[in-house]
Amino acid sequence: MEIQNLLKNNFLLFDGAMGTMLQKRGLKGGQLPEGFNIHSPEIIYDIHRKYIEAGADIITANTFGANRFKLKDSPYSTDEIISEAIKIARKAAGDKLVALDIGSTGKMMKPFGTLGFDEAYDVFKEQVIAGKEAGADIILIETISDLYEARAAILAAKENSDLPIFCTMTFQENKRTLMATDSITMVQVLEGLGVDVLGVNCSLGPRQLRPLIDEILKIATIPVMIQPNAGLPILRNGETVYDLTPLEFAEEVKSMAQNGALVLGGCCGTDPVFIKTLKEALRTITPKKLDNRKLTCASSFKSTVIFGKEVKVIGEKINPTGKKKLKEALRNNNIDYIISQAIAQKETGSDILDINLGLPEIDEKEMMKRVIMELQSLIDLPLQIDSVNPDVIEAAARIYNGKAIINSVNGKTSSMEKIFPIVKKYGSLVIGLTLDEEGLPKTAKRRVEIASRIVEKAKSYGIPEENILIDCLVLTASAAQESVMETLKAIPMIKAKYNVKTVLGASNISFGLPNRKIINSTYLALALGCGLDAPITDSTSEILMDTIRAFKVIANQDRECKEYIDFYGQEPKRHKSQEQKIEKDLKQIVIDGIKEEAKLKTKELLETKNPMEVVDLYLIPALDFVGEKYEKQEIFLPQLIRSAETVKIAFEVVKEKILLNGDEKISKGRIILATVKGDVHDIGKNIVKILLENYGFDVIDLGRDVESEKIVSTAKAENIKLVGLSALMTTTLQSMEDTIKELKNNGILCSIMVGGAVLNKEYAKTIGADYYGKDARESVSIAKRVFDA
Amino acid sequence: MERHLNHYNINRNKIDIGIDKEEVLRYLGYEGKKVDDITDLIIDECIGEILEISRTSFIYNTYEVNMERDVIFFKNTNFKIKGEDISNHLQNSKKCVIMAVTLGNEVDERIRYYSKVDLTRSLIFDACTTAAIEALCDWVERLIKKMSIKAGYKATTRYSPGYGDLSIEIQPKILRLLDTQKHIGLTVTDSFILLPKKSVTAFIGIGKDVKSESIDCRNCSLYKNCLFEKEGDSCGNSKPVKK
């Protein structure tokens, strides 16, 4: 490829700012800069020419904001702007290169915003295709704050063109983007996706960016690009100017070039003089080759786990095999339960979470996508996508905002042919299981052979060793005792041969034996001693985490025993609450909202009382009492909700008991709750939800910004009698009305209750709702009425 | 000679805004009523956490303005606003500052997280961030006032889309004018909701002879549904009226 050759021995010089130049040529505040391609092409041409004359090797076409959202109120289409812009640039460039410039969509992506991944992809795809057809030489994706947006744009560029991709993100002085991505995470994810050049542009001057760029130059293994601003904006004689002179700018950028930056240019405040001066400065130096070693890393959108330096724990609990409650949650679309399991693992020391949702009776792919979307926004741990179905893996890897681990591939040719293309495309890590067509090997030697085959085959797909984690597979000691140690022997053999890391699911070892814990923890300790990098295990198990913490001290990974002392230094305190006798009765605990005591007290009560007695004699009366106090304004919302949460905890215990007894469930009815399309406010909806649950209703919470189709289809599939809709803005009431219409047009025979700050009874009626809930307590009365009728 | 106004400013650094606990209690409904110990403790914890994790970003720019009846034209831009209330508010202004302020995505993330693990805390956290964004707006407003006075002018109070007859549908245009997405990460949805959620845009008029008192509640578009006004109180952006 031409670009790769160009980058071998030369600096590549980009142009400077377009916006700054356009402002000097009459661009008004709020005006569309891309409009100049159409109404004043001569100005654009002239600016490009000046940069070419200054010595730029690549000029950036005036297409930064040429996406369908930003052009919405203009008379132009994406195609029109891009084809004109590239035409002008092409004419100005002569034998130099032209970059299609792609900036942010301007919208915030889900789940914080409302722009979905697929929609973002489509927006970028339109730009990519227009740019390719107009004859751009490279695609420059720049000034991106949201890693998720960068992913969508890069995938759109890769899947719809063969052009080289340069991608730069924008950072703040705290060395994170506005959406909190740090430099190592950017490098891992962008390199994984296969961009040709990555880097940093805009927001700050070269001096402020230096610490960040130094960090990137220490980890990147592909060419690094920098386009800083011309310093920081200051006010001079009533004009905003940037504080660096062209010479100062050039000297700063030059010294970064000496440290290894290869593609250089300017952003806000730079002009052809800056570029010319920079060109001059670069004449005296030659490019420095980066010789960073590839790391084995998994990343969420804002944090990265590096394997190899110390033991990392992959939490195994989100896997329905043998877990009754998780199965039940999956069948009932109860995402909250899965979230609670994820949080419990994070809090007990998991570094990465394995996600396996394979259950025959559910749509695994849809569930996987939903869970990934939820978890990646709530928890900053990287996720491990675990499925036997390549379709599920691909769907999850595509929408995952980070660098995931794929679990798994094995030595079978068919498995490798299906999984490796996905691993390569999304730049994931992959777990290779040492089994093949002949099954699970008995010896260490055979394991090494299979691992070698996996690694070599991966390389043929362009997947580096560093992106592979080998699992040497444990056999249960009760069934195949003689081969247990073979697994452990294989670990150092494989690590000596390749620069791969190793994982191991270590809980199967004790299957069928009593006192499994001690077998598991002993085996884990042995495996760690053999060089295991990351056990796939249960971090909520104290003994296993004890073993890992102890190992980290012994292996000199936990420097100065800090983690160990922090954790165990206060041991006596940790168990105190469990030993204390709780004096208050459950009713009082609910009234006072003492969440920590509810579980134990409920368990205690259930020893002598049956579950329904606990509900009817304690929980409901306490709730009613609290509710009345709230009505009388003796207590306020935070206390009401705290009591409700206390009841919820007690209820969980009661439900577990009922499940155990095999009694019938105590559902008073099933209710859908959703914040309507376009609205992202959900506090009110969440309050309604917990109160309804407290009174024994099952709530299907569809979340916020919910499409009417989703509400209709769920209501239909689940045969729902009551739907609750929430909207907080005058601008989203329309969408509430539309949803109600959709429900009625589809013949869904359910009652509809609505609520939200801008609603009132009359308005609720006009838009076709059956009930208006002025607050959460009211929604409980409505539900009682609907289900008692 | 008139001195120049610092007409452009971007801040992404930490500002010590201070969060008024009384204000938080008011948002939670405890107006002068006794707050229980647990709630009180959670409020303190939330305030500490917010001061630590929130960004205090803002951007503002100053424009010369011309008024023709109820339309205000911003010089050297293609931006204009229309409305009797805002025209009235900006009466006699020679210049107008447009500001955009945000606490950033981190607090939204945290509210979401708490809503899954501790609903009570998410509710209280949300109230504290509302107080925080108000405090940040006040801070920026004071800064602009101070500068205006130094330069020999007076400044009006801030006036945001959604007050009076100024629709929130103006938000995308304000954001584009200030390029807020690039500078402070502030975006707007198709339903005109600002994201990150704890964000505000506002106008401040500057001139020798501008009005500088608060607006009247009756001018607010939320007048009929205002939660505060029912209690004879106000959100702090306006002067309460007796119904």
* Segment-wise mean pLDDT, segments of 10 residues, chain A, 789 residues: 79 96 93 97 98 98 97 96 98 97 96 94 98 98 97 98 98 94 98 98 95 98 97 81 96 97 97 98 95 97 96 97 92 91 96 97 95 94 98 98 98 98 98 96 96 98 98 93 94 98 92 94 97 97 96 96 92 51 83 93 93 92 94 92 95 88 81 95 94 93 94 94 94 94 95 93 95 94 91
B89: pLDDT strictly greater than 80: yes
- The minimal CB distance from A113 to the residues B115, B168, B195 is found for B195
Contact B120 A641 (CB under 8 A): yes
- Check CB contact under 8 Å for A682 and B39: no
In a domain, B127, yes or no: yes
Query: How far from chain centre, in Å, is Cα B160?
Result: 7
CA distances from A402 to A186, A298, A394, A437 (A): 9, 8, 14, 32
Answer yes or no: are the C-beta atoms of A457 and A412 closer than 8 Å: no
* Cα–Cα distance, A774 to A769 (Å, whole number): 13
Residue B108 lies in a domain: yes
Does residue B173 sit within a domain?
yes
> What is chain B's percent helix, strand, coil content, to nearest 5?
40, 25, 35
DSSP sequence for A96-123: SEEEEEE---SSPBTTTSSB-HHHHHHH
* Minimum distance, in Å, between the CA of residue A179 and any CA atom of chain B: 7
Q: Return the number of CB contacts < 8 Å for A and B.
A: 156
What is the reported pLDDT for B242?
Answer: 41
Q: What is the DSSP letter of B93?
A: -
CA torsion sign, A441 to A445 to A447 to A450?
Answer: negative
pLDDT at position B238 over 70: no
Architecture per CATH, domain A670-788, reads as: 3-Layer(aba) Sandwich (3.40)
Share in percent of chain A as helix, strand, coil (round to 5): 50, 15, 35
Residue showing tokens 């560093």:
A466
CB contact under 8 A, B124 and A644: no
Sort strands A58-60 and A165-169 into parallel, antiparallel or unpaired: unpaired
A536 in Cβ contact with A504 (< 8 Å):
yes
The CATH 3.20.20.20 domain(s) of chain A lie at: 297-567
Rounded Cα gap, residues B144 and B132, in angstroms: 18
Contacting residues of A for B61, CB less than 8 Å apart: 29
Q: What pLDDT is stored for residue A421 in this prediction?
A: 98
Interface test with A, best of B103, B116, B118, B166 (most A CBs within 10 A): B116
**By residue range, what is the domain housing residue B166?**
8-238
Closest Cβ–Cβ partner in A180, A635, A637 for B106: A180
Is residue B1 one of the residues assigned to a domain?
no
Contact by Cβ (8 Å): A60, A143: no
Which chain A residues contact residue B147 at CB under 8 A? none
CA-nearest residue of chain B to A202?
Answer: B182
Nearest-Cα distance to chain B for A584, in Å, is 17
Interface test with B, best of A204, A235, A637 (most B CBs within 10 A): A637
CATH 3.30.470.20 for domain A579-661, yes or no, is: no
Residue B2: inside a domain: no
3-state secondary structure A565-634: HHHHCCHHHHCHHHHCCCCCCHHHHHHHCCHHHHHHHHHHHHCCCCHHHHHHHHHHHHHHHHHHHHHCCC
What is the reported pLDDT for A556? 96
Mutate to test the interface with B, among A36, A232, A636, A734 (most CBs of B within 10 A): A636
CB A351 within 8 A of CB A342: no
Across the interface, whether the CB atoms of B77 and A29 are under 8 A apart is answered yes
Confidence at residue A156, expressed as pLDDT on a 0 to 100 scale:
98
CB A694, CB A644: distance < 8 Å? yes
Rounded alpha-carbon distances, angstroms, from residue B229 to A269, A592, A729, B214, B240: 48, 30, 18, 15, 7
Least CB–CB distance from A678: residue in B7, B112, B191: B191
Do the strands A670-675 and A722-726 form a parallel or antiparallel pair, or are they unpaired? parallel
User: What pLDDT score was predicted for residue A576?
Assistant: 45
Q: Residue A112: list chain B partners with CB under 8 A.
A: 105, 108-109, 195-196
CA gap A212, A175 in Å, rounded? 6
- In the block, which residue shows the tokens 């444990």? A474
pLDDT category at B5 given cuts 50, 70, 90 is low
CATH 3.30.420.480 correct for A297-567: no
**Residue type for A626, please?**
V
For residue A136, CA distances in Å to A4, A162, A351, A492 come to 16, 11, 42, 49
pLDDT of residue B243: 36
At residue B219, the pLDDT reads 57
- Which residues of A are less than 8 Å from B229 in CB distance? none
What's phi and psi for A728, nearest 5 deg?
-105, -15
Provide the domain count of chain B. 1
CA distance A528 to A535: 8
List of chain A residues whose C-beta atoms are within 8 Å of the C-beta of residue B176? 30, 70
Look at residue B193 in the predicted model and tell me its pLDDT.
96
A30 with B42: Cβ contact below 8 A: no
- Do A423 and A461 form a contact (C-beta atoms < 8 A)? yes
Phi and psi torsions of B40, nearest 5°:
-60, -45
The token pair that represents B182 in the structure block: 């690039």
**Residue B220, burial from CB neighbour count under 10 angstroms (0-12, 13-18, 19+):** buried
Distance from CA of A680 to the nearest CA of B (A): 8
Interface test with B, best of A174, A204, A642, A646 (most B CBs within 10 A): A642
pLDDT, chain B, mean: 87
Distance CA B133, CA A580 (A): 42
Residues of chain A with CATH 3.40.50.280: 670-788
Q: Which of A29, A336, A686 sits opposite B76 (nearest CB)?
A: A29
pLDDT of B8 reads 81
Phi and psi at residue B207, to the nearest 5°: -175, 175
Paired tokens of A351: 């570094």
The shortest C-alpha distance from A552 to chain B (Å) reads 30
Q: Do B123 and A690 touch (CB under 8 A)?
A: no
Chain A residues lying within 8 Å of B198, measured CB to CB? none
State whether A633 and B33 contact (CB < 8 Å). yes
Q: What is the CATH number of domain A2-282?
A: 3.20.20.330
Which of B31, B187, B197 would best serve as a mutation to test chain A binding (most A beta carbons within 10 A)?
A: B187
Residue in B with minimal Cα distance to A65: B176
Q: What angle do CA A130, A398, A81 make, to 5 degrees?
A: 15
Identity of the amino acid at A117: F
Find tokens 């904001």 and name the residue.
A65
What residues does B231 pair with on adjacent strands? none
| B-chain residue closest to A302, CA distance | B106
Q: What integer pLDDT is reported at residue B224 of this predicted model?
A: 59
> Which residues touch A583 (CB under 8 Å, ≥6 apart)?
none
Q: What is the side-by-side strand order in the sheet with A751-755? A: A698-701, A670-675, A722-726, A751-755, A771-772
Encode A486-513: b = buried (16+ Cβ within 10 Å), e = exposed: bbbbbbebbbeebebbbbbbbbbbbeee
In whole angstroms, what is the distance from residue A162 CA to residue A140 CA? 13
Q: Structure tokens of A67?
A: 């996406």
The distance of B69 to chain A (nearest Cα, Å) reads 22
Identify the CATH number of the domain in which residue B155 sits.
3.40.109.40
pLDDT of residue B108: 95
Residues in contact with A631: Cβ distance below 8 Å, sequence separation at least 6, in sequence order: A777
- Cβ-Cβ contacts under 8 Å, B173 against chain A: 30
Residue type, A635: I
Candidates B174, B181, B192, partner chain A, best to mutate (most A CBs within 10 A): B181
Closest partner CB to B187 (pick from A28, A113, A170): A113
CA distance B96 to chain A (A): 14
